[in-house]
Structure 1
Amino acid sequence: MISADAIRGHIDLIVLSLLSTSPSYAYELAKTITEIGGYTIKQTTLYSALKRLEAAALVASYAGTSGSGKPRTYYRLTDGGAAHLSDKLSEWEDTKALIDRFAARATTL
């Protein structure tokens, strides 16, 4: 199980990557995170991330209607958000490579 502390620094990357495929609303994002990652994100954590990303102009919100007909606030990736996502994905690959090097050393002990 992944701790909240371990995932905290990567919530923005997760949200931006999901929004890169299509606009979505918070409940749908939370559901997708659980389905794909097996991680249950707290609603307050998700909403804080969405507001932070919107304040940074990485995502934009708009009013829409869900498939069930309920009004929803949808979020979409902005051009700046797409560029930021690309940078963050590159940073993630570097981070993962660094951790893998140390993990590999630990398994040989």
Structure 2
Amino acid sequence: MLAVALWRRVPEFVLTPAGITAGDPLRHVHVPWEALEPAAPVRRPQVGSLRLPVRSPGLIRRGGVVRRRQVDVETWALDVAPDLLAGAVTHYTVHPEHRAAIGTPQEYARLRRALAGGG
């Protein structure tokens, strides 16, 4: 039972050219890039989570047992620094021209340079 309970709480966060898929087996959400507000920052309302800046909630697809208007994503078990993840989301929200290359080694290298201040 403990293994099942823990598995149900393991968060997922996937960036794709189409948007962000996040959540866990009981609560998940797909947020297309167009649903996010480029002028608003990704916030950290509490330790272990990020709040995505939604401008078009009607574009968001949700599944699972919990449905909220806000899109809060748990980051406590992800193998990435929350600030780096927030920076990547903000970058792709503001720079749609880079989205098509998400997932490629070249784009990963370019994104790391951009987030480090190297362009």
Q: Same fold (TM over 0.5)?
A: no
Report which structure shows greater RCO (CA 8 Å, sep ≥6). Answer: 1
Provide TM-score, normalisation by structure 1.
0.30
Q: State the structure with more CA Rg.
A: 1
What TM-score comes out, normalization by structure 2 length?
0.28
